[in-house]
Amino acid sequence: MSPLPAFDASDPLGIDDLLGDEDRAVRDTVRSWAADRVLPHIAEWYENGELPGIRELARELGSLGALGMPLTGYGCAGASAVQYGLACLELEAADSGIRSLVSVQGSLAMYAIHRFGSEEQRQRWLPAMAAGEVIGCFGLTEPDHGSDPAGMRTRARRDGGDWVLTGRKMWITNGSVAGVAVVWARTDEGVRGFVVPTDAPGFSAPEIKHKWSLRASVTSELVLDEVRLPADAVLPEVSGLRGPLSCLNHARYGIVWGAMGAARSCFESALGYAKEREQFGRPVAGFQLTQAKLADMAVELHKGILLAHHLGRRMDAGRLRPEQVSFGKLNNVREAMEICRTARTVLGANGISLEYPVMRHATNLESVLTYEGTVEMHQLVLGKALTGLDAFRG
Ligand code: TGC
Ligand code: FAD
């Protein structure tokens, strides 16, 4: 019998064995890009509440094939869902804001056009978006309608051959830097999606300031003041909430992996710190209470990665149900937050400093817990699937 492989603190369950060479190549390429282009600057960007050079970063992510990664054709990489997940994990290990940029571009804006757009819309937008030359955003949430988008007020009416859009969207990632916005609006035929060039008269996207989470990410309001669009601006292949909610499945799937990236960064930070930091004459890693924390963090981290991997394989096999995505997002974001909080305690006072990544990840995850469906929405999705009873509306 061949000897057992050595215990690997960075991969205690041997999950790496589940990956193929191409998977590892994707993971390592994205990890090394993030180490080079994000990690040296992220604390400063975060402190300043900005993402300078976002257009250059988008182009670089485009060159890596990270934008619209699992989509096929139109300059997209045609990667597997597992590979896309690995990329999300590595990006979010750097910062949730960078993963958000990629999620919104690929899983929301590009996915909507790829899945529900006309051939002309795909040809016009997808190659430039895959290359990162055009940034996209996705406008579903409104000031008064977040968890319940069915109540949206943004309206599109027909005027001759044109569509005219009026309304407001809120908390829109990439909004102020986008060249194209996928906007969901109420019409006489139900909810429809519109591809809106952001230079259309009547469109504006003021940036939302004073965020204490996702500070290295652009978040905006979208104002649509009688925005006139040609008849072919509508996404022809879908009507109803099924359209935006289908896109959300893909972005939520990326978060299942991404959250574990933030958690991994916090775990590694805590482990490294605990081995170096001495109190009472010995490294704090030698105390049983610290070891209990590290063991529990490692267990939840690698269970979460296994879960992400399992869902990725189901997605690649075309067998991933939306309820399973809710399962993953609910668990992995919640556990990532717990891991980050525990890591913060291991670092003591240093845990609150931007010199370490822990507090930055912890505050980012407050947004991740809320966007793409709050924790309560995912509990209710699972609750409905388990009981057959819909508790959303009381
Ligand atoms: P309901 O009546 O259940 O469904 C309406 C129609 O939609 C279909 N559907 C889905 N289709 C695909 N995937 C899903 N996950 C779906 N969920 C529902 C459903 O079959 C039905 O289709 P049809 O053809 O029969 O009409 O809808 P509801 O009004 O009861 O709402 C259900 C609920 C609460 C789960 C849904 O509204 C919801 O998910 N709310 C949360 C909203 C949300 O997640 N917003 C996210 C905005 S985007 C964002 O946050 C981006 S942040 C990205 C970043 O920066 O990384
Ligand atoms: P609400 O829906 O007002 O919820 C408030 C609280 O009530 C929550 O705890 C919620 O779970 C709870 N609640 C609501 N209904 C129920 C119920 N039936 N039962 C039990 N509890 C309930 N949106 C986009 O469209 N595009 C984007 O790019 C985007 N990017 C974002 C970026 C950031 C940084 C943030 C913070 C948000 C972003 N969002 C985006 C918006 C996000 O999707 C919403 O914030 C989210 O869906 C929740 O909506 P809300 O904030 O209006 O909260």
Same domain for 93 and 222:
no
The answer to the question of residue 164 being in a domain is yes
Ligand 2 proximal residues by C-beta, below 6 Å: 104, 138-141, 146-147, 171-173, 214, 219, 367, 370-371, 374, 376-377, 392
The domain boundary, picked from 172, 198, 233, lies at 233
Centre of ligand 2 to C-alpha 378, Å, is: 12
User: Nearest C-alpha to atom 5 of ligand 2 is from which residue?
Assistant: 147
User: Nearest C-alpha to atom 30 of ligand 1 is from which residue?
Assistant: 392
The string of pLDDT tens digits covering residues 349-374 is 999 999 999 999 999 999 999 999 99
The pLDDT value recorded for residue 394 is 72
Check: CB of residue 174 under 8 Å from CB of residue 136: yes
Ligand 2 atom nearest to CA at 173: 28
Ligand 1 proximal residues by C-beta, below 6 Å: 100, 103-104, 138, 140-141, 147, 149-150, 173, 240-242, 245-246, 248-249, 251, 322, 371-373, 377, 381, 392
Distance CA 169, CA 186 (A): 13
Low-confidence ranges of the chain (pLDDT < 50): none
The domain boundary, picked from 130, 156, 188, lies at 130
Distance CA 258, CA 367 (A): 13
Same domain for 316 and 186:
no
Q: Which residues are catalytic?
A: 372
Check: CB of residue 43 under 8 Å from CB of residue 355: yes
Centre of ligand 2 to C-alpha 374, Å, is: 6
The domain boundary, picked from 94, 111, 130, lies at 130
- Domain hosting residue 30, numbered range: 15-130
The answer to the question of residue 5 being in a domain is no
Same domain for 354 and 303:
yes
The string of pLDDT tens digits covering residues 310-332 is 999 999 999 999 999 999 999 99
The answer to the question of residue 212 being in a domain is yes
Q: Which two tokens stand for residue 104?
A: 């919104």
The pLDDT value recorded for residue 343 is 98
Same domain for 31 and 121:
yes
Same domain for 189 and 249:
no
Number of Cα atoms under 13 Å in the Cβ half of residue 91: 28
Q: What is the CATH number of the domain that holds 277?
A: 1.20.140.10
Count of domains for the chain: 3
Same domain for 226 and 251:
no
Same domain for 110 and 63:
yes
The answer to the question of residue 8 being in a domain is no
User: Nearest C-alpha to atom 54 of ligand 1 is from which residue?
Assistant: 100
**Diameter of the chain by CA atoms?**
80
Site of tokens 């969901």? 184
Q: What is the CATH number of the domain that holds 51?
A: 1.10.540.10
Same domain for 117 and 22:
yes
Q: Which residues fall within 8 angstroms of residue 106, CB to CB, at 6 or more apart?
A: 66, 67, 68, 69, 70, 71, 84
Closest ligand, as measured to the CA of 376 = 2
Q: Indicate yes or no: pTM above 0.85.
A: yes
CA distances to 10, 64, 205, 297 from 225, in Å: 52, 37, 11, 49
| Mean predicted lDDT score pLDDT of the chain | 98
Centre of ligand 1 to C-alpha 144, Å, is: 16
Same domain for 383 and 249:
yes
Q: What is the CATH number of the domain that holds 198?
A: 2.40.110.10
The answer to the question of residue 392 being in a domain is no
Same domain for 83 and 35:
yes
Same domain for 170 and 199:
yes
Ligand 1 atom nearest to CA at 371: 50
Long-range contacts of 377-384 (CB under 8 A, 24+ apart): 377/147, 377/326, 378/326, 378/327, 378/329, 378/330, 379/330, 381/322, 381/323, 381/326, 382/323, 382/326, 382/327, 382/330
Interstrand relation of 278-279 and 180-187 (parallel, antiparallel or unpaired): unpaired
Centre of ligand 1 to C-alpha 267, Å, is: 33
Long-range contacts of 301-305 (CB under 8 A, 24+ apart): 301/260, 301/263, 301/264, 301/267, 301/335, 301/339, 302/11, 302/12, 302/13, 302/15, 303/335, 304/259, 304/260, 304/263, 304/331, 304/332, 304/335, 304/336, 305/15, 305/89, 305/257, 305/260
The pLDDT value recorded for residue 92 is 99
The pLDDT value recorded for residue 1 is 80
Same domain for 342 and 288:
yes
Report CA torsion sign: 365, 94, 213, 151. negative
Q: Which residues fall within 8 angstroms of residue 121, CB to CB, at 6 or more apart?
A: 113, 195, 232, 235
